[in-house]
Structure 1
Amino acid sequence: MKQFLIALTLFATSALAQTADDLARLRAADVVILGEVHDNPTHHDMQAQIVQDVAPAALVIEMLGQEDADALAADPAAFAERWAQTGWPDFQMYLPIFQAHDGPIIGAAVPREVARATYADGVAAHFQGDAAAYGLNDPLPDDQYTQRVELQFQAHCEAMPREMMGGMIDVQRLRDATLAAGVVQAFADTGGPVVVITGNGHARKDWGVPSYLARVAPELRVISVGQGEDGVPPEGGFDVVLDAPAPDRPDPCAQFK
Structure 2
Amino acid sequence: MRPILVWLLLTLPAGAQTLPPADVYVLGEVHDNPTHHAVQARLVAGIDPAAVVFEMLTQDQAGRIAPDTPRDADTLDALLDWSGGGWPDMAMYAPIMAASDAPILGAAGPAGELGAYGLEGPLPPEQQAGREALQQAAHCGALPDDALLRFVARQRAMDARFAAHVLRALKDHGPPVVLIAGNGHARADWGVPAAIARVRPDLRVVSVVQGEGEEMPPADVILHAPAPERGDPCVAFR
Paired residues for 1:233-244 under 5 Å? 233-235=215-217, 237-244=218-225
Does structure 1 residue 129 correspond to structure 2 residue 113?
yes
Which ranges of 4 or more aligned residues in structure 1 deviate by more than 4 Å? Answer: none
- Partners of 1:108 and 1:178 within 8 A in 2: yes
2:111 and 2:156 map into 1 onto residues whose CA distance is 10
TM-score (norm 2): 0.87
Does structure 1 residue 196 correspond to structure 2 residue 179?
yes
RMSD: 2.1
Structure 1 unpaired stretches of 5+:
1-7, 13-18, 111-125
1:58 and 1:255 map into 2 onto residues whose CA distance is 36
Instruction: Select the structure that is richer in helix.
Output: 1
Paired residues for 1:91-170 under 5 Å? 91-110=90-109, 128-131=112-115, 133-170=116-153
One-letter amino acid matched to 1:243: H
**Mean Cα displacement is larger for which, 196-205 or 136-145?**
136-145
- Partners of 1:227 and 1:233 within 8 A in 2: no
One-letter amino acid matched to 2:192: V
1:177 and 1:53 map into 2 onto residues whose CA distance is 27
- Partners of 1:73 and 1:98 within 8 A in 2: no
Structure 2 unpaired stretches of 5+:
10-14
- Partners of 1:150 and 1:162 within 8 A in 2: no
Q: How many residues align?
A: 223
One-letter amino acid matched to 2:214: V
Does structure 1 residue 23 correspond to structure 2 residue 7?
no
- Partners of 1:233 and 1:241 within 8 A in 2: no
Does structure 1 residue 46 correspond to structure 2 residue 39?
yes
Q: State the Cα distance separating 1:254 from its structure 2 match.
A: 2.7
Identity of aligned residues (%): 50
Tell me which of the two structures has the higher relative contact order, counting C-alpha pairs closer than 8 angstroms and 6 or more residues apart.
Answer: 2
- Partners of 1:64 and 1:107 within 8 A in 2: yes
One-letter amino acid matched to 1:39: D
Q: State the Cα distance separating 1:127 from its structure 2 match.
A: 6.1
Does structure 1 residue 58 correspond to structure 2 residue 39?
no
Q: State the Cα distance separating 1:169 from its structure 2 match.
A: 1.1
